Each structure stands twice: as structure tokens, then as C-alpha cells.
Amino acid sequence: MYSPPSSAATTVKRGASHPSLPQNDSPEQKTEREQQISNTCEQYQWTTEVEALPGVPLAKAMPSDDDPSIAWWLDVLHVGLDIIKNIAAVYTQPIFSGLSAAEKEIIDQALHVAQEVSNAVDAIRLKHTLSKDITDLEAEVHQAEQQSDIDQLKQHDNEIRDIIDIIMDILKAVETADTRSIEAYRNLYQTTPVPAIAYNFQDDDLFARLRIAGPNPMLIKGIDAVPDNFPVSAEQYAAAIAGDDLTTALADGRVYLLDYAELEILAAGVWKGQAKYVYQPMALFAVPPGGSSLKPVAIQCGQDNNQYPVVTPTTASSGKWGWELAKFVVQVADCNYHELFVHLADTHLVSEAIAVATRRNLANKHPLWSLLVPHFEGTLFINNLATQTLINKGGPIDAFFGGTITSSQMAAVKARLSFDFYDKMLHNDMAKRAVGDSTKLPDFPYRDDARLVWDAIHDWAQQYINVYYADDDAITGDTELADWAKSIACEGHVAGFTAITSREQLVDVCTMIIFTASAQHAAVNFPQKSLMAFAPAITGGGWTAAPTEQQGHDKQEWLNYMPPMSLALVQQSSLILLGSVYYRPLGEYQTNRFPYQQWFRDAVITESEGPLARFQAGLRAVEARIIARNKQRMHPYTYLQPSLIPTSTNI
């Protein structure tokens, strides 16, 4: 398990004033570098024995350098207190009318404590000024003074979590079994705005759109043949896509597949004596001739076509609810794949491995240390917190996801250890999944906006690296770089990570690292609030076995697939928190301690027309272009606007 971070004040870390490569230093400077790296290795040690994620290389302890800033804490606690306000309003609703007087008193006492916490947080917020007119010496003094405030905010965070747990435990115990209705789920939003998806989640076009502009745009792939175990007929295809035929569509490259076979690792769990279910469906989509957007064609609710028939879109009363059930099955599977594979494994855990390797192998005067460390701010802390409060036994994932917590953890472990660094680079991934051609799939907001952000980061990495590496010989002569790459591959177990032998390769590597920590995480994290918090639309577990026929279902059966109201509130509260904290946008490089001084100190990087200024200008251009695109899109896609992309994976 992780060790708690030290509360002792430390020197505020910043990028080096004069970064240098080890081969260019004097013998004395090389010795100094080696000693500094050795000291840092004592702080940043590997472990593969974190209980919630066995086998995943993580930091054994969390040094105080990785403690969040006061500004981050204030943002997080503000959201947490807002969640408590909403829960306080929800518990008075009729669905929780079975509360006893004693239970109400306990909740009221917890809410009184919440108000005291809110007052204390407001006092720290008032005290915490953001003036930048301060000397380096004064910054060190402020750093020492701030530690007590950080410790207080940590304590308030624990109090907020305890308050939420106390109230949730009571609500779980008193809820009646017959309260499910869409309006009741909407009523879980009392002081928090009801998301738009709560009113249109049954729409077939939205169901298709979620594959290319939702939480998980990373699974959809183009196909040239329908899988043998998913026997969609030509007649079924033609009924779904008017004026088209399956053979032509496949030949044209307009047919796309979701396949959740990898979720086979999940074992179905139980909650309060009720069986939960996990599914491994397949779903087919197509772009109509002359069209631009995906349309749903068919769903099979499991991998065995002998057990699960092909289900197709229909408005006929006899099959309508069977189609809705099939879509729900896909949404449950997608929630699991998103959270365990795409979100936790492929962003949080990959970034931590690279963060630890960076600290252990690059001296803090190495130019790559200065470039990359800001993109790891908060990552070790938030991952540590997740293992203790999110994916732990008895945590939210254990409650509202369908799998046992052990199998959910193992799914994330397997996904992380199979992550291939170069295969997952944006352009390579798009090509591998056959979704990169905009003439075949014109409407793919994630792809199109991600390319803009990737290219802006690539330009920044290239300009930065070219300042410090004169040629490819400088790359191959950099012993710290070689050790770093080896550590990522061998100690961090990042598959496919090879030795770096050219500037071009290093630019691609740094682009991938920065993109993963910032843009990719933003694209898969922030839909949690707007799209995933409303349980009838997307949730982690089913409460009835997958349907084995399309006919003979009704609305009540569909509702019975959805989670109990109290677990829907757990899901809503958890995902609103994760999807609400936008801390420090991409391109804004500052220290993580008050007064948040500029991170980079090398004048070559920070001059008015230098690489940093050009990167920031490039991001502004990307922002403007995405805003312009969104004016033309039927549904805006905002998750990759640079102003809404945090620099690091910090929530």
C-alpha cells in the first residue's frame, strides 16, 4: 500500500534555469546529477503490490512534491460540498420516505457538520490570495506557512467523504424496491442541474453518437466482414439502413462494430442479496450512403449467437422494449470498458508509470524533466486516492458496477499491462481501428478535435526538443534518456516502449505522453458528469440477465434493469465529482505551490516568440477552430477544447 505523504514543507520545484544534457556537463556536474537522481530514487520507488491493482507498477509512496495545491483542494472541496447540498435535498424526496426519526437526526447532524466544514473551507479560501508579486524567498516562506492549510483541507476532504458515506449508507438501507421510474431518477437532481441526456437518452441517433462523441470513442472499429458469431442478415441491415445493402456498405468501408468480448474477465457480483449482471454484447453501426453519421443497425446481447438473437431497431410495440433492453445492455458494457480500460488503465495508470520513471531517471536539470513533470501534477495523489476510495472493496465501483470488485480490478490490471505505447498513439490507433478516414466516417468529433490538439502538442514538443538536442547523435548520447526509456519499458511495464534513437522519435514519444496525460484524459473523464452520471442512460451494472429474445418485453421490465435509486445516487455523486474539476488548463505551466510561479525559467523557451508562446498561440487557434466547428455541428463536442483540458491527470 501507499505510504502517506510527508507533511514537511519542501522547496518549491520549478523547471531548470539552464537545462542541460548529461553528456554536456562537466565531471563535477555529472556527479551532482547522479547524486540528485539517487536521492530522488529513495523518494520514488516502484511497487507492484498495491492491493487494489496487483501487478501494476505504481509509486510505493507519495512524496510531498506530489501533494495537490491549495487551489486544487479548494476546487475539489467546493464540488464535494455542492454534492452534499444535492444529497440533502434528495433525502427528503418521497422515494426515501421510509426514514425513521433517528435516521433523519443522524443525517441532520451530518449536514450540520458539512456546514461547519464549508465555513472552514471558505475561511481558507479567503486567506489564500493569488498575488504573483512575490519574490522567490517569500515564496519559500509562504510554502512553509501553507502546509498547515493543506493539512486542514485534507482533513476537510475526509470529513466530506465521511458525511456522504453516512448519508448514503442510511439511504441504501431504507429504499423501497418499487421506486424505479425515469422521473424518480431525474429527481435525484435537486440542486444540481439535470443533464440533457436525461431527456433524450432513448434516442437511437444519440445511442450511435455516443460511440464517436461520448465517454468511450476508443472501441468502435471499421470492418469489412460481419463476425461469424454475429449473423446480421442482409434483410436486417436493409431494414435499418434504408436504401442500402450490407455487401455494398462493407465494401465501401461504412460498417462499424463494437465488440465487448474483453469483458469476459468480469464475474457477476451481488449487492445486498441482489444479483448484478455484466454483459459482453456486440453492436453494429453504419453510415448510410451519402450520409455522415453512424446509425444503429443491430445488437446481440452476448457473444453466443445461439443463445442471444440479433436485435434490431423498431418502433413496433412487440419489439420496441426488446430494442431498448439491448441498448441498455450495450451501455452497461460500455461503462465498464470505459472506466476500467479506457479511463483508469489507459490514462491514469499509464501516466503514473511514466511519471515514476521520469523522477527516477532524469535529473531535474534535464530538459525533459522540465517539459514533462507538470503533466504529472496530481497524478500519483489521485491514483492513490482512487485505490482507497473508488476501486476499493466497498467503494462506489464495487456498489454500482456489475462485476465483483476483484474482477473489476483484474480487468483494469490486464488492460494496463496490455497497453501498447506506440499502437495507442492517436494516428496509429485510428488506422488500426479503421476509423481515420473522414470520407468514410465524416462525423467523428473526438477524432477530428483530437488531431488538432495532438498536432499542437507535437509542434510544441518538436520546438522544445530541438532547442536542447542538436541532432540524433545528441539523442543516442543521452544516458539519462536511455535509462528513462528502459525504465518505462522494464520497470513500468509499458508494452512497446523501445529505445529512443532520433529526435523525431523523441518528439512523438513526448507528444504521446503529454497528450495522454492531458487531452486523452479530458476526453474520457469529463463526459462522466454530462453523460454518465444519469444512471438510466449509462451505468456500470445490469440488474436482470441479458434478454434472449426481442419480443415480449415492456417498460417495467426495462426499468428493472436499472440500478436501485440509492446506487443511482452513488453513481451520480461520484461521477459529478470526477467530471467537475477543471484544474490548470493545457499550456498554463505553473508550480504547484503558492504563488504559482511560472514553471519554465529558460529564457529560450519563455521569450515572447519562443516555443512556449507559440504553443499557447497554437492552442488558442485550436480552441477557435473547435468553437467554429461546434457552431456547425448538430451537437457540440466540447471535451477537447484546450481551455477545458487540464494539463495533467489530476482528478
- The 10s digit of each residue's pLDDT in 224-281 is 999 999 999 999 999 999 999 999 999 999 999 999 999 999 999 999 999 999 999 9
Sequence-distant (6+) residues with CB within 8 A of 9 are: 64, 143, 144, 146, 147
Taking the C-alpha atoms of residue 484 and residue 491, their distance in angstroms, rounded to an integer, is 10
Residue 289 lies in a domain: yes
> What are 466-495's pLDDT values in tens digits?
999 999 999 999 999 999 999 999 999 999
Average pLDDT, integer, range 553-559? 97
What share of the chain has pLDDT > 90, as a percent? 90
Please report whether residue 507 resides in a domain.
no
Give the C-alpha distances (Å, rounded to integers) separating 531 from 115, 207, 284, 423.
30, 11, 21, 28
Residue 252 within a domain: yes
pLDDT single digits (tens) 613-630 = 999 999 999 999 999 999
Average pLDDT along the chain: 95
Predicted confidence (pLDDT) at residue 595 exceeds the cutoff of 90: no
Cell, residue 629: 466547428
User: Is residue 288 included in any domain, yes or no?
Assistant: yes
Phi, psi of 286 (to 5 degrees): -150, 155
Please, which pLDDT band fits residue 129 given cuts at 50, 70 and 90? low
Instruction: Band the pLDDT of 9: cuts 50, 70, 90.
Output: very low
Q: Please report the pLDDT score of residue 256 as a whole number.
A: 99
* Cα angle: 45, vertex 50, 56; to 5 degrees: 75
Tell me the mean pLDDT in the region 285-302: 98
pLDDT-wise least confident of 37-46, 119-128, 289-298, 448-457:
119-128
pLDDT at 3 over 50: no
> Does some domain include residue 211?
no
Residue type at 450 in one-letter notation:
A
Instruction: Tell me the average pLDDT across 530-559.
Output: 98
- Residue 637 confidence (pLDDT): 99
Give domain status of residue 128, yes or no. no
Q: Using alpha carbons, select from 428, 530, 457 the residue that is nearest to residue 215.
A: 530
pLDDT in tens, 81-107: 999 999 999 988 888 888 899 999 999
**If residue 252 lies in a helix (H) or strand (E), which one and from where to where?**
helix 246-252
551: three-class secondary structure by DSSP = coil
Whether 470 maps to a domain, the answer reads no
Model pLDDT, residue 94: 83
As to burial, measured by CB atoms within 10 angstroms (0-12 exposed, 13-18 middle, 19+ buried), residue 521 is buried
* Domain-located, residue 248: yes
Q: What is the pLDDT of residue 6?
A: 39
396-450 per-position pLDDT tens digit: 999 999 999 999 999 999 999 999 999 999 999 999 999 999 999 999 999 999 9
Range of the domain at 294: 216-333
First to last CA, the chain: 20
For the cut 60, the answer to whether the pLDDT of residue 327 exceeds it is yes
The total number of structural domains in the chain stands at: 1
Q: What is the 3-state secondary structure (H, E, C) of 132-149?
A: CCCCHHHHHHHHHHHHHH
Quote the cell numbers at residue 555. Answer: 417498460
For the ranges 146-155, 393-402, 597-606, the lowest mean pLDDT is seen at 146-155
Q: What is the pLDDT of residue 145?
A: 72
What is the pLDDT at residue 177?
A: 53
568-589: average pLDDT: 98
Which has more pLDDT, 99 or 286? 286
User: What's the chain's Rg over C-alpha atoms?
Assistant: 25
The three grid cell numbers given for residue 239, joined into one nine-digit string: 431494414
CATH number of 320's domain: 3.10.450.60
Q: Taking the model in full, what pTM does it have?
A: 0.96
Which helix H or strand E contains 160, and what residues bound it?
helix 136-174
